Chains A and B, each alone.
Chain A
Amino acid sequence: MGVSTIDGTIESAELRRSAAKIRIYKTIVFRLANGETKTIAKPIAHAELAPRLEPGATGRFYLFSSIDHRGIAGVRTSDGQAQFAYPRNNETIGMVLTILAALWVGLSPYFVGDFGIFALIVLILGPIVWLVNRSLRRQAERQFQADNPVGPATAAVAG
């Protein structure tokens, strides 16, 4: 879990699936300055960032990884364009699971009489998924802002 950057050129970006605000790629392959390639398998990106993740795009790419979940949250292209858009789907899923499990555990004594071990596990894991992804998003935002040589105002931040 953490953030990192890649300086290079996108050699290929194979889109696997599009959801509302999310783009899921099969792979994105970067050509680095030293000639090596670096592949990011199954990365996700915010839909607003997708136009900047086309083959030929050159610059600095801001990556995040959370458990077995990787993605690209920001780009600074070599022509001076900057964009940050963090896909918040996992954070939202964690939050929704937490609320649903809390409601289930809290209200089931009044309606069902008991709650199962599954609800308890979700009540434990939901907040972890939520908080880990929230913390990662904030880390990615801080990294992107701090890396900006001109200033935060020039970067379009979304997500």
Chain B
Amino acid sequence: MAAQAPAWPFRYNRTAAQWTRWLALAQAALAAGAAAWAFAAPAGLKPGADDPFILLETVQLLFFIAGAIVVARWLYVAGANARAMGATDMMGSPAWAIAWYIVPLANLFMPFVAMRELWRASADPRDWQAASAPAILILWWLCWLASNIAGTVAFRLEWEGDATMLGAVGTAQTISNALFVPAALLFAHIVARVQAMQDGQGPAQLFR
């Protein structure tokens, strides 16, 4: 009888983790630059209204899209690897850790819950529900949420097209960028830690 393949074979994920971290750091740098520029820009240039800012926003958007693709790939494989290491009764399939980001209302808390679960399962796969998760996870999620809320406010104000609201749009964008910096830095740290925990427990031949 042929040996049955495990439901979740352990897969090499270190390269995706590195790309995820680099893109998170690049996005943090861009957001910090955008926030600093908003303060230092010459009089008359308004964030969200003038060409240099639009160019910067476009670059940020491109990095965000690239980052989202790489993060999705890393999250999926990391979730599958946690299961391959012996974690049972995790939430749904690894794909849910990604899908939660686009489910209305649930995207306010479920991505955090999924990331906390991934951390615990990576720390102690056999008894992950007894493992603890550090406070940086909460800090990351609060910064991410606050940054997104400020970004949404900026987008909605800009969408209204009221020229008198340009100052408020700029302020909301600057707040969003400023909060995105710690969110991205903490995320890069979380990815590094989770990956290190999984590397320490995965099949040795994958890491030679």
| A interface residue numbers (CB < 8 A to B) | 1, 4, 27, 29, 36-41, 63, 65, 67-68, 70, 121, 124-125
Contacts and interface: CB of A to CB of B under 8 A. Distances in A.
Contacts of A37: 127, 130
Contacts of A67: 91-92, 110
A118 to B, nearest CB: 9
| Interface residues of A, dominant DSSP | strand
Nearest to B103: A125
A41 B116 CA distance: 13
B105 interface: yes
A125 B130 contact: no
A65 B129 CA distance: 13
Interface of B: 88-89, 91-92, 104-106, 110, 113, 117, 126-127, 129-130
Contact of A4 (B89, B91, B127, B129): B89
18 contacts: A1-B92, A4-B89, A27-B129, A27-B130, A29-B130, A36-B127, A37-B127, A38-B129, A39-B130, A40-B129, A65-B89, A67-B91, A68-B91, A68-B113, A70-B89, A124-B104, A125-B104, A125-B105
A70 B90 CA distance: 10
Nearest to A39: B130
A68 B110 contact: yes
Contact of B104 (A39, A63, A121): A121
Nearest to B89: A65
B66 to A, nearest CB: 29
A121 B107 CA distance: 13
Contacts of A4: 88-89
B79 to A, nearest CB: 14
A29 B104 CA distance: 34
B115 to A, nearest CB: 12
A115 B126 CA distance: 48
A4 B104 CA distance: 29
A121 B105 contact: yes
Contact of A39 (B105, B106, B113, B129): B129
A41 B91 contact: no
Contacts of B117: 68
Contacts of A68: 91, 110, 113, 117
Contacts of A121: 104-105
Given A36-B126, A36-B127, A121-B105, 18 more contacts: A1-B91, A1-B92, A4-B88, A27-B130, A37-B127, A37-B130, A38-B126, A38-B129, A39-B127, A39-B129, A40-B89, A41-B129, A67-B91, A67-B110, A70-B89, A121-B104, A124-B104, A125-B106
Given A121-B104, A121-B105, A125-B105, A65 B91 contact: yes
A136 to B, nearest CB: 11
B127 A63 contact: no
Nearest to B105: A121
A27 B117 CA distance: 16
A45 to B, nearest CB: 15
Contacts of A65: 89, 91
